[in-house]
């Protein structure tokens, strides 16, 4: 396997597959609420506009039992297998760096535990925020980050600092033993091969929405 391929693998699973699995999970939960009991890979591929062969490979990696011809998979069983595969029931503790408006919102959000993540503490360089609690989570000075992350065995870091401070925050998290980073800063982060970075680039998402609306409006005028 080439070095570039290794960098794009996590525990033998491609990062692209890991990115698709939560999308499948959300879709299956919606189908379950609609009363759908069984579903096939071709239907999932069609609804999500994905390649059918890729969907079959992804589901085969997750499902404990193979889909049956014509009927496909039992939706409830597939949801359960996917949640177990993704570790939704094994809560991982996370540390957040940067207690600005976005950081405060994430600290106060109660829905992360559903997906196996619990933010347990935060760090900031602003002395006015240190030694306070936000959303019930303590805020510590950033100088304590490495030591506390190591002591508490924190494996997930969330970066909500401005772009110019993101790499420094990332380096501190990696030095503290963090293995996965959720990055909200609009900048590329350099990390060792064993660390996974998931970028949430809101500027790109907003640009895509704006472009969609522009094209839809242009078509409407034709």
On the question of pLDDT at 55 being above 50, the answer is: yes
Does 59 appear as a known binding residue? no
CB 94 within 8 A of CB 117: yes
CA 42 to the chain's CA centroid: 25
What pLDDT, on the 0 to 100 scale, is given for residue 94?
A: 95
* Nearest alpha carbon to residue 12 among 61, 55, 54: 61
Render pLDDT for 103-145 as a digit per residue (tens, 0 to 9).
Answer: 999 999 988 888 888 999 999 999 999 999 999 999 999 999 9
Does 101 appear as a known binding residue? yes
Does 62 appear as a known binding residue? no
Distance (Å, rounded) from C-alpha 72 to C-alpha 79? 13
Does 48 appear as a known binding residue? no
Render pLDDT for 4-46 as a digit per residue (tens, 0 to 9).
Answer: 444 455 556 777 887 888 889 989 999 999 999 999 999 999 9
The pairing of beta strand 137-141 with beta strand 133-134:
antiparallel
| Mean pLDDT, all residues of the chain | 87
Distance (Å, rounded) from C-alpha 201 to C-alpha 220? 29
Does 220 appear as a known binding residue? no
Please state, for a pLDDT cut of 90, what percent of the chain lies above it: 59
C-beta atoms surrounding 178 within 10 Å: 25
Does 176 appear as a known binding residue? no
Render pLDDT for 176-206 as a digit per residue (tens, 0 to 9).
Answer: 999 999 999 999 999 998 899 999 877 777 8
DSSP 91: P
Q: Whole-structure pTM over 0.75, yes or no?
A: no
Write out the two tokens for 180: 């996965």
Instruction: Give the containing element (helix H, strand E) for 167.
Output: helix 163-175
Residue 11 region by backbone torsions, left for phi larger than 0, else alpha for psi between -120 and 50, else beta: left
Q: Which domains does the chain have, with CATH numbers?
A: 3-86 (1.10.10.10), 92-204 (3.40.50.720)
Residues 6+ apart with CB under 8 A from 60: 66
């Amino acid at each position: 396997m080439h070095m570039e391929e290794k960098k794009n693998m996590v525990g033998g699973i491609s990062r692209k597959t890991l990115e698709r699995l939560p999308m499948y999970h959300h879709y299956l939960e919606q189908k379950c609420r609609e009363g759908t009991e069984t579903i096939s890979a071709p239907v999932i591929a069609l609804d999500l506009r994905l390649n059918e062969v890729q969907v079959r490979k992804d589901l085969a990696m997750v499902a404990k039992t193979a889909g049956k011809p014509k009927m496909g998979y039992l939706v409830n069983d597939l949801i359960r297998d996917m949640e177990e595969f993704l570790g939704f029931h094994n809560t991982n503790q996370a540390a957040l760096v940067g207690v600005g408006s976005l950081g405060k919102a994430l600290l106060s959000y109660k829905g992360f535990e559903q997906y196996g993540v619990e933010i347990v503490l935060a760090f900031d360089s602003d002395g006015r925020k240190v030694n306070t609690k936000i959303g019930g989570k303590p805020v510590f000075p950033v100088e304590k980050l490495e030591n506390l992350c190591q002591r508490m065995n924190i494996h997930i870091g969330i970066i909500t600092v401005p772009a110019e401070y993101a790499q420094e925050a990332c380096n501190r998290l990696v030095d503290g033993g963090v293995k996965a980073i959720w990055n909200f800063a609009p900048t590329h982060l350099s990390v060792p091969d064993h660390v996974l970075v998931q970028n949430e680039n809101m500027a790109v998402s907003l640009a895509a929405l704006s472009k969609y609306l522009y094209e839809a409006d242009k078509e409407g005028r034709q």
